[in-house]
Amino acid sequence: MQIDIISVFPEYFDVTGLSLLGKAQEKGLVTIKAHNLRDWTHDVHHSVDSTPVGGGAGMVMKPEVWAECLDDLLGLDPANLTMPSDGEATAQPDAEADAGQSNRNTVEAGQEHVNPSVEDGPVLIFPNPSAPLFTQADATALSHADRLVFGCGRYEGYDARIPTYYRSQGIDVREYSIGDYVLNGGEVAVSVMLEAITRLLPGFMGNPESIVQESYTGDEPLLEYRQYTRPTTWRGLGVPEILTSGDHGKVDRFRRDEAIRRTSRIRPDLVARMDCSSLDKQDRRL
Ligand code: SAM
């Protein structure tokens, strides 16, 4: 997988050389390159932002500099590009823009992700706090892409026409929020998505089993049961006795019960989305 990241602070991504992600790059599973957006500016101040149309506080990232950078990285020749008609180029109302998010259906903005699958070609991803939430299902789908290009917003964000324009050029463009809070820039959000995606690449984990039974994973996106290690008594606290019984069937049942109970209590929204036909008799009792 090839990953390009565009940022005004590319140094943020120096840490991708560490730990398991560093090893994955050494093994050739993934290449990560961080680019400085200012390298595509032409003015003496290398400016990437301007005041918001319509007024208001802060600055907005300019589309021209993003387009030069993206055309370059995506290998698009601006001379051969189809120019969207005025109507298409104008920023769309939210509902229309959400519908334009490739391969994605939103039941309610930011909630249900029905089909996040990836087709051939690069996927262009912009972190955005006002976009649908990034989930494990998105990470799984994106781990099958050959190429990801991430664009980190700053200031009040990027000009809304940038994703609209690249969608109109046939690029799979996605915008994701990593949670209901606002960060200073997209760098941390990209780091989160990058890690969630790359750890799913075949060969990334020493033991591939460790990503099979995890929270949010699989057809039943439950929270994981609680985990313990030795000693079995620590500072007066024991572990559930059944886990030391050696009876794997009972241990599996105990863990599944716990996963269902915890998910119902902590994340009832996940249970509400579960396909109940996958529940067995014992599950239904809970
Ligand atoms: N004015 C924007 C708003 O209120 O929605 C916030 C812009 S934020 C200060 C600047 C950039 O940080 C965004 O363009 C985005 O790239 C990134 N960002 C901030 N919070 C984020 C979140 N929760 N998820 C994803 N990206 C986020």
pLDDT value of position 19: 96
Q: Is residue 208 part of a domain?
A: no
Is the confidence at residue 201, as pLDDT, over 90?
yes
Q: Is 189 in the pocket of ligand 1 (CB under 6 A)?
A: yes
Q: What Rg do the C-alpha atoms of the chain give, in angstroms?
A: 22
Sequence-separated (6 or more) residues with CB below 8 Å from residue 243: 228, 251, 254
pLDDT value of position 100: 56
Q: Is 115 in the pocket of ligand 1 (CB under 6 A)?
A: no
Are 123 and 164 in a shared domain? Answer: yes
Q: 123-127 and 147-151 as β-strands: parallel, antiparallel, unpaired?
A: parallel
Residue 203 CA to ligand 1 centre (angstroms): 32
Are 194 and 236 in a shared domain? Answer: no
pLDDT, tens digit, 9 for 90 and up, residues 262-280: 999 999 999 888 887 777 8
The pLDDT confidence band at residue 237, using thresholds 50, 70 and 90, is: very high
Torsion angle in degrees (nearest 10) through CA of 142, 100, 125, 195: -40
Is the confidence at residue 2, as pLDDT, over 60?
yes
pLDDT value of position 213: 84
pLDDT value of position 95: 47
What DSSP string runs through 60-91? Answer: EE-HHHHHHHHHHHHT--GGGPPPPPHHHHSP
Are 154 and 220 in a shared domain? Answer: no
Of 166, 198, 230, the domain-final residue: 198
Q: Is 191 in the pocket of ligand 1 (CB under 6 A)?
A: no
Q: Is residue 237 part of a domain?
A: yes
Q: Is 188 in the pocket of ligand 1 (CB under 6 A)?
A: no
Q: Is residue 14 part of a domain?
A: yes
Closest ligand 1 atom to 185 CA: 12
pLDDT, tens digit, 9 for 90 and up, residues 142-157: 999 999 999 999 999 9
CATH number at residue 143: 3.40.1280.10
Of 198, 223, 241, the domain-final residue: 198
CATH number at residue 276: 1.10.1270.20
The preferred substitution site among 183, 184, 187, 193 for testing ligand 1, maximizing ligand atoms within 8 Å of CB, is 183
The residue whose CA has the least distance to atom 6 of ligand 1 is: 156
Q: Is 244 in the pocket of ligand 1 (CB under 6 A)?
A: no
Q: Is 184 in the pocket of ligand 1 (CB under 6 A)?
A: yes
Is the confidence at residue 114, as pLDDT, over 50?
no
Q: Is 164 in the pocket of ligand 1 (CB under 6 A)?
A: no
Are 225 and 189 in a shared domain? Answer: no
Are 112 and 233 in a shared domain? Answer: no
Of 146, 173, 198, the domain-final residue: 198
Are 133 and 170 in a shared domain? Answer: yes
The pLDDT confidence band at residue 219, using thresholds 50, 70 and 90, is: confident
Closest ligand 1 atom to 130 CA: 5
Secondary structure E strands in the chain: 2-7, 31-36, 49-50, 60-61, 123-127, 147-151, 172-176, 233-234, 237-238
Which residue, 254, 260, 251, is CA-closest to 279?
A: 260
3-state secondary structure of 215: coil
pTM equals 0.91
Q: Is 153 in the pocket of ligand 1 (CB under 6 A)?
A: yes
The residue whose CA has the least distance to atom 22 of ligand 1 is: 129
Q: Averaging pLDDT over each range in 106-115, 199-208, 238-247, which range is the top one? A: 238-247
Which of these ranges, 67-71, 85-89, 116-120, 211-215, has the smallest mean pLDDT?
A: 85-89
Binding-site positions for S-adenosyl-L-methionine: 153, 178-183
* Domain range enclosing 272: 215-285
- Domains identified in the chain, total number: 2
Closest ligand 1 atom to 58 CA: 1
Q: pLDDT above 90 covers what percent of the chain?
A: 74
pLDDT value of position 140: 96
- Cα 123 to Cα 18: distance, rounded to the nearest angstrom: 25
pLDDT, tens digit, 9 for 90 and up, residues 52-82: 999 999 999 999 999 999 999 999 988 887 7
Q: Is 178 in the pocket of ligand 1 (CB under 6 A)?
A: yes
Query: Between residues 279 and 243, which one has the greater pLDDT?
Result: 243
pLDDT value of position 257: 95
Half-sphere exposure of 162 (CA within 13 A, CB side): 27
pLDDT, tens digit, 9 for 90 and up, residues 167-180: 999 999 999 999 99
> Average pLDDT in the 76-97 region?
66
Are 167 and 272 in a shared domain? Answer: no
Mean pLDDT, the chain, integer: 90
Q: Is residue 261 part of a domain?
A: yes
Q: Is residue 205 part of a domain?
A: no
pLDDT value of position 90: 59
Q: Is residue 160 part of a domain?
A: yes
Is the confidence at residue 109, as pLDDT, over 50?
no
Q: Is 183 in the pocket of ligand 1 (CB under 6 A)?
A: yes
Q: Is residue 209 part of a domain?
A: no
Q: Is residue 206 part of a domain?
A: no
| Chain Cα centroid distance, residue 268 | 22
For residues 215 and 139, the answer to whether their CB atoms sit within 8 Å is no
Are 161 and 226 in a shared domain? Answer: no
Which residue, 63, 69, 65, 70, is CA-closest to 46?
A: 65
For residues 99 and 143, the answer to whether their CB atoms sit within 8 Å is no
The preferred substitution site among 182, 188, 192 for testing ligand 1, maximizing ligand atoms within 8 Å of CB, is 182
Binding-site positions: 153, 178-183
Are 250 and 222 in a shared domain? Answer: yes
Cis, peptide link before residue 93, omega less than 30° from 0: no
Are 161 and 255 in a shared domain? Answer: no
Is the confidence at residue 107, as pLDDT, over 60?
no
Are 246 and 127 in a shared domain? Answer: no
Are 132 and 221 in a shared domain? Answer: no
pLDDT, tens digit, 9 for 90 and up, residues 25-41: 999 999 999 999 999 99
